[in-house]
Amino acid sequence: MNILSDVLLKGLCVGGDSALAVADNKESYSYGDLSLAVTQIAVLLQSKGIRSGDRVGIWADKSCRALAAMLAVSKLGAVYVPIDPMNPMVRVDIIRSDCAMKALFTTQAKLAQYRETRAEGCHFIVLDSEGELSAQAAQASEINQVSHWCDVLACQPSRLKSDVAPAGDELAYMLYTSGSTGVPKGVRISHTNALAFVKWVIEKIKPVASDRFSNHAPWHFDLSVLDIYVALASGASVHLVSELDSYVPQKLVNFIAERQITIWYSVPTALTMMMNADAQFGQKCKQLHTIIFAGEAFELKSLKTLRAQFPLSDLFNFYGPTETNVCSYYKVPDVVPDELPIGYAASGARIKICDQDGHDVALGQQGFITVIGPTVFDGYWGKDLRQEKAYNTGDIGYINELGELMYVGRQDHMVKVKGYRVHLGEVERALYQHQEIKECLVVLDEQKNLVAHVATAGIKPPSLLTLKMHCAKRLPKYMLPEQIVYWEALPRNRNGKLSRRSLSETRPHQASHTAQSGA
């Protein structure tokens, strides 16, 4: 495999033409169906002038058709840009303009948002249109270039120009993340970057053609790369979880059970929600033989519950920012350790712990997690290509005496309290070790006091004094929280991660009460 679309050829060889490749909540494609759709979409894109290196957006809910579009873009050597389907048009337009998008796959409802805006130089392909458009979408088509799904079906596969031979080091896709300036930035990922990860996962979890992968993560989130490409490269099937159902726990449990999912990959939050919603989760979904989690810390009590519910399944903790994809992993043993490592180097990476000048630190000393390897991106869109081989993740970690990589937290979450450096993640880890804490985030308020935002498991939450005494057994005095804000559930972002940024925005409506020292 040299480019991402090659996974389809491999899947065809392993699974066969009639084997199930992908299923959404409305339709399903065999490998033969998917191969035909990919070629027809590629023919349409070529007819609209799309060439190698051009950027093509996907602003639509997950579907078999949208997945075929991603593979078609790859087949032409173009670059696909998945966009959060919940993004407003204004943000979509920022991304479209930033990368000079030549085409955009979307839906009628989203196209309608362009009824008063002309997207210069961008051709729209409407995935859910057979030729008839709603009134508002029709208005948008009057000022924009638009093709329909029926136009795709009319394309003859034999008309595909086969002189396209993209190289592995060319861009495969871009994932836009939040930028420090408020403007989203595009992370450039090459075919080589992506396939190094895909091949490593195949070697590590050894999927077979009878496996059934879920795709829980949204496509603009890097977790989705495993679901789609590892499944197809193995001749297995991938089952798309709709955006609306992504965090409805009972629907997720039913989805896994009804689709007979065998390999699951998500943020820990989704797994915790399913366990909390259905005490029979493990029994109903016992065919799950591999469960992978990444993207945030897994609260220890919940992880132990997961291990108890799935005693025979392989559990993996994956770590890595978007810029490196997964660069370390840890296979969770039968007895979950009290501190969960992020483990050992993955995907051919080499990991170092460095000081702020890039020099290696001593074993056991905290420093920046720094990655060298084939999955490391080559820079952000519109910026100079990175010349450095090593990438500083901005995450703080250390190597323990067993040679395992341990995660402490983000550099951004390092604060000063009473003149001492405090990593908010250390305070959070101490709080998580209390049996009643199911979620927590710690922040520094305007008075430079540590404030812990917590959601608790019991009806009567532990008091501030109780939590301070609990933390005092694990932390120095200056790291103890001075205030506790109690929530029913902490806010999360679109990817399911706990969101510090949302605390101030949602707190007046959702927080139940506050306790503070001296109150």
Give residue 422's pLDDT: 82
DSSP string, 436-468: TEEEEEEEE-TTS-EEEEEEESSSSPPPHHHHH
Is the residue at 1 inside a domain? Answer: no
Domain boundary among 391, 411, 431: 411
Q: Measuring CA to CA, how many Å separate 513 from each of 222, 447, 454, 509?
A: 36, 20, 11, 11
Is the residue at 211 inside a domain? Answer: no
Domain count, the chain: 3
Q: Could you give the count of Cα atoms lying within 13 Å of 269 in the half-sphere of its Cβ? A: 21
Residues 254 and 320 in one domain: yes
Is the residue at 230 inside a domain? Answer: no
Residues 364 and 437 in one domain: no
Structure tokens at 89: 């048009």
Is the residue at 229 inside a domain? Answer: no
Residues 6+ apart with CB under 8 A from 492: 247, 269, 498, 499, 502
Is the residue at 198 inside a domain? Answer: no
CB atoms within 10 A of CB 135: 8
Give residue 416's pLDDT: 77
Residues 406 and 425 in one domain: no
> Quick one: which H or E segment has residue 153?
helix 149-153
Domain boundary among 396, 411, 426: 411
Give residue 22's pLDDT: 99
Is the residue at 293 inside a domain? Answer: yes
Give residue 515's pLDDT: 64
Give residue 183's pLDDT: 72
Residues 484 and 429 in one domain: yes
Residue 174 near residue 55, CB atoms below 8 Å: yes
Residue 58 near residue 66, CB atoms below 8 Å: yes
How far the first Cα of the chain sits from its last, in Å, is 63
Domain boundary among 349, 383, 411: 411
Q: Tell me whether strands 390-399 and 420-423 are parallel, antiparallel or unpaired.
A: unpaired
Structure tokens at 283: 């029994």
List the chain pLDDT tens, one digit each, 519 residues.
889 999 999 999 998 999 999 999 999 999 999 999 999 999 999 999 999 999 999 999 999 999 999 999 999 999 999 999 988 888 899 899 999 999 999 999 999 999 988 899 999 999 998 888 889 999 999 999 999 999 999 999 999 997 677 777 899 999 998 765 557 899 999 999 999 999 999 999 999 999 999 999 999 999 999 999 999 999 999 999 999 999 899 999 999 999 999 999 999 989 999 999 999 999 999 999 999 999 888 989 999 999 999 999 999 999 999 999 999 999 999 999 999 999 999 999 999 999 999 999 999 999 999 999 999 999 999 988 887 889 999 999 999 999 999 999 888 787 878 767 788 988 998 899 899 999 999 999 888 889 999 999 878 899 999 999 999 988 878 889 999 999 988 998 887 888 888 887 765 344 455 666 654
Structure tokens at 229: 């490409």
What's 64-106 look like in SS3? Answer: HHHHHHHHHHHHCCCEEEECCCCCCHHHHHHHHHHCCCCEEEE
Residues 183 and 83 in one domain: yes
Is the residue at 195 inside a domain? Answer: no
In the β-sheet with 171-177, what is the strand arrangement from edge to edge?
145-148, 123-126, 103-106, 55-58, 79-82, 171-177, 185-190
Q: How far apart are CA 113 and CA 153, in angstroms?
A: 25
Residues 444 and 371 in one domain: no
Q: What residues pair up with 443 in beta bridges, in sequence order?
A: 451
Residues 433 and 407 in one domain: no
CATH number at residue 149: 3.40.50.12780
Is the residue at 346 inside a domain? Answer: yes
Residues 276 and 335 in one domain: yes
Residues 428 and 403 in one domain: no
Residues 90 and 173 in one domain: yes
Give residue 261's pLDDT: 99
Give residue 225's pLDDT: 97
Residues 439 and 313 in one domain: no
Residue 424 belongs to domain spanning: 418-516
List the one residue out of 292, 344, 349, 341 whose CA is nearest residue 325. 349
CATH number at residue 440: 3.30.300.30
Residues 329 and 301 in one domain: yes
DSSP string, 200-244: HHHHHH---TT-EEEE-S-TTSTTHHIIIIIHHHTT-EEEEPPGG
Residue 261 near residue 288, CB atoms below 8 Å: yes
